[in-house]
Amino acid sequence: MSRKLGLIAGLLCSAQAPMVTAQTIDAASQEPSGRDASNDAVPVALPLAPEPAANPGPLDSVAQKPLFGDWEPRKRLEEKGVSFAARYVLQPAVNTQGYKGSGLNVVQHINVGATLDLGKLGIVKDGTIRVIVTDRIGDGVNTARTGAYIQNQAFFGQGKNVRFNELSYEQMFLDQRLSLKLGFYSMGNDFGKLPYTCNFTNNGNCGHPLGPVYSSGWRDDPTGQWGGRVKWTDRSGVYVQAGAYDVNTVRNKAGHGFDLGFGGERGAFFPVEIGYVRGKTPSDYAGTYKVTAYYETSRAALQGRPDESKTGRAGVLFQAAQQIWKPEKSTVRGISIFGVYTIADKDTGLMPSYMEAGSSWRGIAASRPEDILSVSWTKANINTRLADAQLLAGNPVQTSEELWELNYGVQLSPWLLIRPGIQYVVRPGGYDERPNSVVFVGHLQATL
């Protein structure tokens, strides 16, 4: 286990994504997003009921409870408004073949976090401060072996070092329907999340879609950025939010884990999202539907023409998840499906289109209501302008990369989850010349 500790907020939602250059050829030279850490506090999750203050509890989600949650000093602090959370994640993976060979690669992720309830502390009603520090260790299979863009182990990347993840302040107004959040944190914590996808170990599903990650200045956990957002949540389940964040090309790199400065500034990122969350009781068929659009002011190189560039790029994400079957009315057990499609800038984006589809079956056996069987398919389409330039130069041509995953998540205890799975990677890095690979991957998650 690492010699360093990181910190995760009480709302463990979400991942973090570094800037990816417009002329990326080999995924092995990159460190893409990494997983949205907060989603793993709830291994299966559709967002909860639309009334924050009256929410009866998780719907179609498996809430993690800390191993040391009943420790008396910790409980006393929580009653006074100071909550702590810690988590350790271990992800080993073995690939059958790759253009760099096969073998075992292990990555680790450690969080320790604090949340200050300013209302309980007698400072500000409905105000919250969150602080996060994160540590990552190890090299992923995609970088060390296969050259794939989609990470087989979602907790790999972004400097592989201790980094300051978040220092944010959130204030609720109007019976908690209006939220204002400011500070240093990943914009991906609040935008473009579909927590259902974090039933999976690969980062193509869990965290955020890789289309905007590889094609814009989108950032995900654990890399922070300066900015904020405002969100309105209607009691009908409809919500609208908008934000503004800086785009920095340095903070996600090794050795810059505590770089809160503006030395690597490239521009600003403006996301807008509208969504609908349905489901309030276990009898409901929970669902989430959302559209996220963004505009970024950065200047980026054109795909296939690295000596040319343009300022400004935009994109949109369509995400949906819905429970479609229950074995009985008053249960959260059942089958859910999800789908994701993203469109990125065609001039500068490495992946102008990206898609995901999958399904999860929670509680196949009534005696194991918190176990989850999941299957998914992901496809990343490489920019044809880059492919045309490669063909003209007589170089290997990139087309698209796909990944399939089948896994079974087992809740051994309220604080311990294991998720063995198998993945099949097609055209790693988008190259036909690279061998397809079967990857056996594991996920162990301990909430402390």
pLDDT-based confidence at residue 261 (cuts at 50, 70, 90): confident
Q: Where do the structural domains in the chain lie, given as residue ranges? A: 27-447
Q: What is the mean pLDDT of the chain?
A: 86
pLDDT value, residue 256: 84
pLDDT, one tens digit per residue, over 324-381 is 999 999 898 999 999 999 999 999 999 999 999 999 999 999 999 999 999 999 999 9
pLDDT value, residue 4: 36
Work out the average pLDDT over 422-426.
98
Work out the average pLDDT over 58-72.
80
pLDDT, one tens digit per residue, over 147-203 is 999 999 999 877 777 899 999 999 999 999 999 999 999 999 999 988 788 899 999
- Ramachandran region of residue 370, left (φ > 0), alpha (ψ -120 to 50) or beta? alpha
CATH class, 27-447 region = mainly beta
Q: For the whole model, what pTM was predicted?
A: 0.87
State the DSSP H helix or E strand holding residue 301, giving kind and residue range, or none if neither.
Answer: strand 287-302
pLDDT value, residue 255: 82
Q: Is the pLDDT of residue 408 over 60?
A: yes
Residue from 419, 432, 434, 433 nearest 205 by CA: 419
**Which residues are paired to 131 by β-bridges?**
114, 167
Q: Is the pLDDT of residue 306 over 70?
A: yes
- 10 Å CB burial of residue 448 (0-12, 13-18, 19+) is middle
pLDDT-based confidence at residue 10 (cuts at 50, 70, 90): very low
Tell me how long the chain is: 448
pLDDT value, residue 61: 64
* More confident call, 307 vs 63: 307
Cα gap 437→403, rounded to integer Å: 10
How far from chain centre, in Å, is Cα 349?
20
* Coil vs helix vs strand at 37: helix
How far from chain centre, in Å, is Cα 78?
27
